Amino acid sequence: MRIKEEIIGKEVIDTSGLIIGKVKDVEVNFETQLMENFIIGKGGSFGGFGMSKNEIIVPYDSIRVIGDKVLLKGEMYETV
């Protein structure tokens, strides 16, 4: 999917200007052909498979705009 390839690697920024990380992957519903979630890497390398503690899932409906960067509709709060 070409659009997915264009999104991976973009910085993700919340409304406060905080850089959350970079898009590591995009989950697509192949039945509806719609993006559902973005997997965001919170620093470090993009290597490996599966989820790690340095990744967060951001639902597509939390995205305000996709351009040079991905802007979120709200702020992200770090949870422990």
β-sheet with 55-59: strand ranges across: 55-59, 34-41, 19-29, 11-13, 70-72, 63-66
**Run means of pLDDT, 10 residues per run, the chain, 80 residues:** 86 93 94 94 56 83 95 70
Q: Which residues pair with 35 in a beta bridge?
A: 28
pLDDT at 6: 92
Give the model's pLDDT for residue 3.
79
- To the question of pTM greater than 0.85 for the whole model, the response is no
DSSP string, 13-38: E-TTS-EEEEEEEEEEETTTTEEEEE
User: Phi and psi for 51 in degrees, rounded to 5?
Assistant: -85, 145
pLDDT for the residue 71: 96
Residue 25: the pLDDT is: 95
Residue at 27: amino acid letter: E
Q: For position 77, what pLDDT does the model report?
A: 57
